[in-house]
Structures are given as C-alpha cells and as structure tokens.
Chain A
Amino acid sequence: QKEVEQNSGPLSVPEGAIASLNCTYSDRGSQSFFWYRQYSGKSPELIMSIYSNGDKEDGRFTAQLNKASQYVSLLIRDSQPSDSATYLCAVKNNFNKFYFGSGTKLNVKP
C-alpha cells in the first residue's frame, strides 16, 4: 500500500465548474497535509497547507481534511483553463518524512 494515493486522472471539468481532487493516506499519525500544483515541465508549487480537521479556504481553493477517514481533498471553484495542471497531495508524518502522491492531472476545458 502506498503512503499517499491519488487518482491519476485525467479529471476533466468545464470552465467555471468546481474541480474536486481527492487524496488518501495510510499513516494515521500524519499531522501536516499539503497540495502542490505542477505545470508540465515545471517544479511543484505550494497551493495550500492544512493541519487540522475541517475546511481551509484561500481564494478559489478550499482544502478539506478528515483525519478519521485519512482523507484530504482540494476543491477549486470557478475553474479556469490556467488551472490545468497536475495536483500533488503531500503528507508529512510524525518522523518528519514527506510522502507525495503520484498526482491527479486536471484539464479545464474552455
């Protein structure tokens, strides 16, 4: 079992719709969770971090964390073609190790 699992996609949504990206993790003791966006040929860019259960909003982005279900999600409202990228979920465990999911490719169609 991988430490962090993501659906590889591609996830296709029309412009203006809500994109929902999901991630599950295996280490129940994990405390810190991150979403990165990676454009093709570029390095990952941090979008959101979340540390406690519930929702955290930042502009069009909302991160959701449910530690009981070991589940993290990222919602992108009013999706734009410029949001088309691969989204990586990352989890930091109690031993300070980062684990990344393989990423979900998002396509936002104009």
Chain B
Amino acid sequence: KAGVTQTPRYLIKTRGQQVTLSCSPISGHRSVSWYQQTPGQGLQFLFEYFSETQRNKGNFPGRFSGRQFSNSRSEMNVSTLELGDSALYLCASRDSQNTEAFFGQGTRLTVV
C-alpha cells in the first residue's frame, strides 16, 4: 500500500508570490490534515479536510487555504508569500475509522 505522497519535495519562491502544494493520502483514507513545521514553532496545525469539506482549522491567516478533491487528494495554497512562511509543510492522512495519522515526506518551502 503506497504511503502519503507530497509534491513537490522542495520549492523556492519569492516574497509576494503564491504557491500550491499537493498531497495524495493513503488509498482509502478520506481525512487529510496539513501542518507547518518550523524550528521555532514546532508542528502547527493548519487545517483538516474530510470528504471534500474542511472539518477543522488552525490559527493561520486567510492567506493559507486548502481544498480536497473527490479522490481525497488535497491541495494547500499560500498567497502573498512572506519570509516567515519558509517551513516544512507536512500532510497527514487518516481513514474514517482509525484515528492514527500517517505523514508524507513533506514539502520544504523557502521564501526569499
């Protein structure tokens, strides 16, 4: 069974640009959560999608948005990038029964 796949693995963007990250969950998993990880703040919850609906949301500005498609793949978008958005972005998938979350390899975003 394939794991959680995130693309791209690395990104370099300029301040003010926007970026879209993709996450394909484990087959059969309908929940996808996104996290931002930085050395100073640790792992912070962005949002969770379940069956194409946003189920939970963390305390991030509206520049951070996401969506989920009918095949459970999810995208996260960050608009008007700031230097402080440089981080490792992780997505995690869960199925509807099991509460354990499994992480993808992450996307390392660098904003210059």
- Check A97 for interface membership: any CB of B closer than 8 A: yes
> Which of B43, B44, B99, B105 meets A92, CB within 8 Å?
B99
Q: How many angstroms from the CA of A42 to the CA of B9 in the assembled complex? A: 11
Q: How many angstroms from the CA of A46 to the CA of B100 in the assembled complex? A: 8
- Check B33 for interface membership: any CB of A closer than 8 A: yes
> Which of A34, A43, A98 meets B105, CB within 8 Å?
A43
Segment of A52-60, A65-73, A100-108 engaged in the interface with chain B: A100-108
Q: Is the interface of B mostly helix, strand, loop or mixed?
A: strand
- Interface size counted on chain B using CB atoms at 8 A: 19
Say whether A43 contacts B101, CB under 8 Å: no
Taking the nearest CB of chain A, how far is it from the CB of B61, in angstroms?
18
| Interfacial residues of chain B within 4-47, with CB under 8 A of chain A in the complex | 33, 35, 41-45
- Check A1 for interface membership: any CB of B closer than 8 A: no
For residue B102, which residues in chain A have a CB less than 8 angstroms away from its CB? 46
Please encode chain B, from 42 to 78, with 1 for each CB lying within 8 Å of some chain A CB and 0 for all others: 1111001000000110000000000000000000000
Query: 15 additional contacts, CB 8 Å, given A34-B100, A34-B101, A42-B105?
Result: A32-B99, A36-B103, A43-B105, A46-B102, A49-B99, A49-B100, A92-B99, A96-B56, A97-B45, A97-B48, A98-B45, A100-B43, A102-B42, A103-B42, A103-B43
B contact residues vs A (CB 8 Å cutoff): 33, 35, 41-45, 48, 55-56, 90, 99-106
